[in-house]
Chain A
Amino acid sequence: MVMRYTYLIQGSIPRVLDLWYWPTLQMVMWGFITTFLTQNSSFFAQAFGVLLGAVMLWDVMFRGQMGFALSFFEEIWSRNLGHLLVSPLRPREFIYALLTMSVLRTVFGIFPATLLAIWFFGYNVYGLGLMLVAFFVCLMMAGWSMGLLVSGMVLRWGMGAESLAWALIFGLAPLCAVYYPVASLPGWVQLISWSLPPSYVFEGMRAVMIEHVMRADLLITAFALNIVYLSAASWWFLNCLKGARREGRLLQVGE
């Protein structure tokens, strides 16, 4: 299955460009904003790169989700899902393939942007060291949960639910405290924010960059929450697939 998606991307220049375009554009735009803020704010002057780091890490989660969901949507757009589901491919193997593609698409898409950030703005996200690996894993897991959720929705409600793939993750951004601390949110919103794994990652990132402290407690909580969300999302996806079989929707998955 990974070979199938690789063939698709290899043979399509727009798909390759799409992988690079958004992470690079985001990085350049936020790079200039960060440069401006650094020169005009004592807070950002102390922690150059907080915004750029947040942008890049947010993109990890965004790409993680889209990498999963777009690979799944490709099967529906190409009306190939029926062939796949009558082959010996098991649903869990299908999910593993989509997860693998999500990692490959994310790494392939974001890596050039991280190099450009060093070149353009002198910001090296790899300076986060091993914490970067932990952040990456936690955010990918959160992206997978979202990918499973929206792919299940498409199985349940048809391609009309496709736009949710974009809408849901953008709706989550303000709650995940990507660019500001959770403490700056209203009290009741903080409760929601602390129930979301990415909030712990971004708090952890700020702790490293501003306070120079590695907060293992935040990462452990993020990881534990991710396990819960990922299990629930996997159940949801498999349940939607079962429901689609029960209600005959696999015969005409589409609008």
Chain B
Amino acid sequence: MNSTAVISVRGLTKRFGAVLAVDAIDFEVAAGSITALLGGNGAGKTTTIAMLLGLVEPDAGAMLVLGEELPKHFHRVLPRMNFESPYVDLPHRLTVLQNLKVYAGLYGLMRADERISELAADLELKEFLQRPTGSLSAGQKTRVSLAKALINAPELLLLDEPTASLDPDTADWVRSYLESYCAGRGATILLASHNMSEVERMCDVVLMMRTGRIVDQGAPAALIGRYGRSNLEEVFLDIARGTGKGAELAPDRAAQ
């Protein structure tokens, strides 16, 4: 395993009953990069991220995250990483400020008020810090979730479909913010998505998943070129349907 990579995974496997959700995958995520797990529904993206977070226990395989062996040393890694997903909420009855204070406490921040003020300014939260989180619009909630995800200034950020259900304008704002965070802090992002334009725009590397396996990987432009397509969506469809060059290339690459 590559100890210089922020994430290094070997033979990671997870089965839920008869379903093999993640099938002995290997991959690495370089420091400071934005990497996408791309695949259709049930491809294994969320399960992979959940295993890296400790929400799901793998059946087999090895995970090295931020230089620590998981799951043995989760308690050392969790303070240095964070997570955001539109499918996991923050308590609706608590105000935005209360939620951020609770998470600042959980991450052991010494200067919580300072960090919250900084995030409130960056993510334009000031006007609704005192409002109950449940009363916010989808776009505002996403910004609050991002603030929670960035509360500890994580070195590694795991995102599960970060712009799902957002309008194009808000989604674009979120992408720009994440790009600037990554560039400014030298942080690493691993995100699961099936939004092709998002991945094409943001990501340095794409890991293409299908039925629990990584069937291909590379930079978006390299993948588009290799499959002889004009955009990542066409590559995705080739791989998902096993058509075009996807039928020839993906199985070979998966074997590698």
Contact = CB atoms under 8 A, between A and B. Distances in A.
Interface residues of B, number: 36
A11 B132 CA distance: 9
A248 B16 contact: yes
Contacts of A87: 78, 103, 106-107
A251 B78 contact: no
B54 A245 contact: yes
Contact of B50 (A11, A74, A83, A251): A251
Contacts of B148: 83
Interface stretch (A1-9, A41-49, A57-65, A134-142): A1-9
B50 to A, nearest CB: 6
Interface stretch (B24-32, B61-69, B84-92): B84-92
A247 interface: yes
Contacts of B21: 248
A226 to B, nearest CB: 29
A1 B102 contact: yes
A89 B79 CA distance: 9
B61 to A, nearest CB: 14
B109 to A, nearest CB: 11
Nearest to A74: B91
B106 A245 contact: no
B20 interface: no
A79 B88 contact: yes
A73 B125 CA distance: 29
Interface in A69-104: 74, 78-80, 82-90
B35 interface: no
A250 interface: yes
Interface of B: 14, 16, 21, 46-47, 50, 53-57, 75, 78-79, 82-83, 85, 87-95, 98, 101-103, 105-108, 132, 148
Interface pairs A-B: 5 shortest CB-CB: A82-B88, A79-B89, A78-B91, A4-B102, A7-B98
27 contacts: A3-B102, A4-B102, A7-B94, A7-B95, A7-B98, A7-B102, A8-B91, A12-B93, A78-B89, A78-B91, A79-B87, A79-B88, A80-B90, A80-B91, A82-B55, A82-B83, A83-B103, A86-B54, A86-B55, A86-B82, A87-B103, A87-B107, A242-B57, A245-B54, A246-B57, A247-B16, A251-B47
